[in-house]
Amino acid sequence: MLVQGCGGVALFALQFAKLLGAHVTVITSSEERMARAQALGADAVINYRATPEWAKATRELTGGKGYDLIMELGGEKTLPQSLRCIRPGGMIAMIGILSGTAMSAALGLIITRQVRLQGITVGHRDGLEAMMRAIDLHRLQPVVDRSFAFEELKEAMAYLKSGAQFGKVCIAH
């Protein structure tokens, strides 16, 4: 599995994938974030700033096979690379559009590799209840970067927009 970034959704995906025994590669923006992702269980990490063509590096990590599942959080600028490192028949879970909403991906790769693109938003109640049971049973802890008071909502949004967080940003009421 390949996970893009170190936000709250990405890090929870890493934790759940490791619970299921998956090999997880995390793409992130700095050496510090790489080390923190490895401390949470990432098997491999790639700094996309140091390796802008990270798809090639991930293909090498998988022995040329590609990933079964990619958590696509970037959108417009990252989807073309995700398509180059997904295995034939693999799934790209479209969760975020941080780099834009336009899709300029090579449709030939989607067809010839039989890739499934799956948009994901909020799940259903049964799924949430199962997730909560797993969190409780395995004592998973969400990674909380920082908490803001409700009165600091503007600052919290600016912090999120900066991309400096590692994990979740919480608003306390």
- Residue extents of the structural domains in the chain: 2-142, 143-173
How confident is the model at residue 48, as a pLDDT? 95
What average pLDDT does the chain have? 90
92-149: per-residue pLDDT in tens?
Answer: 999 876 666 667 767 888 888 899 998 887 778 898 898 899 989 999 888 898 999 9
- The answer to whether 156 touches 26, Cβ cutoff 8 Å, is no
pTM of the model: 0.87
Q: Could you tell me the maximum CA-CA distance found in the chain, to the nearest angstrom?
A: 51
CATH code at 2-142: 3.40.50.720
The whole-angstrom separation of Cα 56 and Cα 100 is: 22
**Looking at residues 25-31, what average pLDDT do you find?**
95
